[in-house]
Amino acid sequence: MDINIVKAAEILQSARYAIALTGAGISTESGIPDFRSRGGLWEKYDPAEYATIQAFCSDPEKVWRMLFDMSEITRNARPNPGHRALAELEKLGVLKHVITQNIDNLHQEAGSKSVIEYHGNASRLECLSCGEQYQREQFAAALLGERTPPRCGKCNEILKPSVIFFGETIPPDALARSQEAAQKADAVLVVGTSAVVYPAAGIPLIAKQNNAAIIECNTEHTGLTGYATDIFILGMAGTTLPELLRQIQSS
C-alpha cells in the first residue's frame, strides 16, 4: 500500500468536513478525453468559433455540429471505479460534496448525491428564449440518429445544452455553494484536475487558507502540487481512489 494513500486515509477519516474537486482526468478512464488534450474536441473544433455563447446565439445550427460530436463522445460513457469510490466515500459520511468541472453526469450516475456542477450538465437541455428545460433522452433520435438540432416544444427555438459556454458565468448557486464548502473544509481531495483555472482553482486555496489538508490524486504533478498540495497520490483515479476507499474501510 502506498504510504501516501495511508496518510490520506487517516486525514479523511479524521476530517470533519471533507470535499472533493474533480476535473476531466477522472472521466478519461470512462472514455471521455479531455477536450484540450490530443484527440480532444478542441483539436477538431476551434472553441472560439464553436464554444462561445455568442457563437451559439448567432448560429446555433453551426454550433450543434460540434455538440453532436460531444453527444457521441459522452453517450456511451459509464462511471468508472474512481467515480464509484467517491460516491461510496459520500455514503460513508467521509465526503460532504463533490465539486466538479465536468459536464458528463458520471458522478450522479455513480451514486453521488451532493454534486456541485461548475460547468453545468450535458444531460439537460434548455431554451434560451422561454426557459423551458428538458432531459437529453427526450431528443435521443434527433441527437444520435438524425443529428437534427433539438427544438423547444413550447416556442420552437433551438435548444442549448445546460452547460457553461465560454462567455457565460459560473452559475451563482454553484459558485456560492462551492465557496461555502471550501471555507468549511478541513480536507480537500483534488482529482483529475490541475486546479489552475479560476474560479475552480480557488477552491483548494480558500480551504488551504483555513489550514485544510490538500490531497491531490493525479497522473502527473500540476501547478497545484508545488505550492498547496500536502499529499500527492500518483496514478489513475480508477485505481488510486478505490485503494483509498479500501484503506478507509479497513481502518
Active site residues: 119
Which residue in 111, 248, 101 sits closest to 178, CA to CA? 101
Half-sphere exposure of residue 68: CA atoms within 13 angstroms, side-chain side: 16
C-alpha to C-alpha distance for 45 and 72, rounded to whole angstroms:
15
C-alpha to C-alpha distance for 141 and 146, rounded to whole angstroms:
6
State the alpha helices, DSSP H only, in 78-236. Answer: 81-91, 106-110, 140-141, 172-184, 202-209
Half-sphere exposure of residue 165: CA atoms within 13 angstroms, side-chain side: 22
User: Order of strands, edge to edge, in the sheet holding 231-234?
Assistant: 115-117, 95-100, 18-22, 187-191, 213-218, 231-234
Cell of 2: 502506498
Cell of 246: 479500501
